[in-house]
Amino acid sequence: MPYLPDPERYTKMKYRRCGNSGIKLPAISLGLWHNFGHVDQLENSANILKLAFDSGITHFDLANNYGPPPGSAEENFGGILKRDFKGFRDEMIISTKAGYTMWDGPYGDWGSKKYLISSIDQSLKRMELDYVDIFYHHRPDPETPIEETMNALDLIVRQGKALYVGISNYKPEEAKKAIGILKRLGTPCLIHQPKYSMYERWIEDGLLDLLGNEGVGCIPFSPLAQGMLTDKYLKGIPEDSRAAKSHGFLQKDQITESKIQQLVQLNKIAESRGQKLAHMALSWILKDERITSVLVGASKPEQLADSLKCLDNTNFSEEELNSINRILSNS
């Protein structure tokens, strides 16, 4: 039978204005960094997307190199979109990015106009789309003039290949330059995608203030610190965990005894709020009105359903926040 979305889906989600734009994003957005490549089970990926849409998640975030192999997440997403979501494209915000290595040679990486224009063309072809809603530059390029990179983003919008543009992984000074250039070009920066969690708080040192003052949205990724901010590590390092296998960005030596004690203390606060540690970690990010949305990943539909429970309680008392900061300062 064809997929029919839940007619009550928009009553299940909270939506937030993205900076000074006309766009609202769901408080929780779905990132396709993992679990959507050719190495993954396609029907599981499709079921995650269906649950997301049924839950009011309208924003789906990709990048040219997501997979593995690179490009396969876009291909799979495009195929599922065509098969199961025909007629619902206008209810979705679809984003992709370019900035990390995608193909061999000097034109398949970083931030040249050559790379960005070629990349958006390839992404649209893989997803079988006429345009994406948001196109990001994925990371700053230390060698290409920032004017060239921002001019490429502006051109992509003027060509009709993206409706909005954003930046990712830009530090405050870099972001300030990029936002200023895009504003002068007439294609304002819609949103910034930084890494942010209880354990990675660099955006609090100027970036959040900048985005708030400039009317630019913010959508953090890795909000659970690669799974560290879950109940998985409360009793040590499980054999089947990312840290035990040292896969990806979470390494075994990061899960120290003092870190485990921190997690146990944070978990006690979460329990007093009626939450799991992961729920509280997501809620903690959403407490700031300058945050538009939080990107979460999921390896199965049940995992996504669990993450959505964070929306049940996004308010924190001053005492709770002080306790969390005190625990985190004891590193």
Q: What is the pLDDT along the chain (331 residues), one digit of tens a residue?
A: 899 999 999 999 999 999 999 999 999 999 999 999 999 999 999 999 999 999 999 999 999 999 999 999 999 999 999 999 999 999 999 999 999 999 999 999 999 999 999 999 999 999 999 999 999 999 999 999 999 999 999 999 999 999 999 999 999 999 999 999 999 999 999 999 999 999 999 999 999 999 999 999 999 999 999 889 999 878 655 555 554 445 555 555 566 888 889 999 999 999 999 999 999 999 999 999 999 999 999 999 999 999 999 999 999 999 999 999 999 997 5
Cα separation, 191 vs 166, whole angstroms = 5
Sign of the Cα torsion 259, 261, 266, 270 reads: positive
Instruction: Identify the CA nearest to 216 among candidates 16, 15, 20.
Output: 20
Give strand pairing partners of 200.
197
Query: Quick one: pLDDT at residue 174?
Result: 98
> Collapsing DSSP states into helix, strand and coil, what is residue 15?
strand
**What six digits make up the tokens of 48?**
């995650």
Q: CA–CA distance from 199 to each of 81, 83, 228, 260 (Å)?
A: 35, 39, 9, 13
Q: Which domains does the chain have, with CATH numbers?
A: 9-227+279-316 (3.20.20.100)
User: pTM for the whole thing?
Assistant: 0.94
Residue 229's CB: how many other CB atoms inside 10 A? Answer: 25
Q: CA-CA distance, 246 to 84, in Å (whole number)? A: 36
- DSSP assignment of 167-226 equals EES--HHHHHHHHHHHHHHT--EEEEE-B-BTTB-GGGTTHHHHHHHHT-EE--B-TTTT
16: helix, strand or coil:
strand
Q: Residue 135 and residue 153: Cα distance in Å, rounded?
A: 8
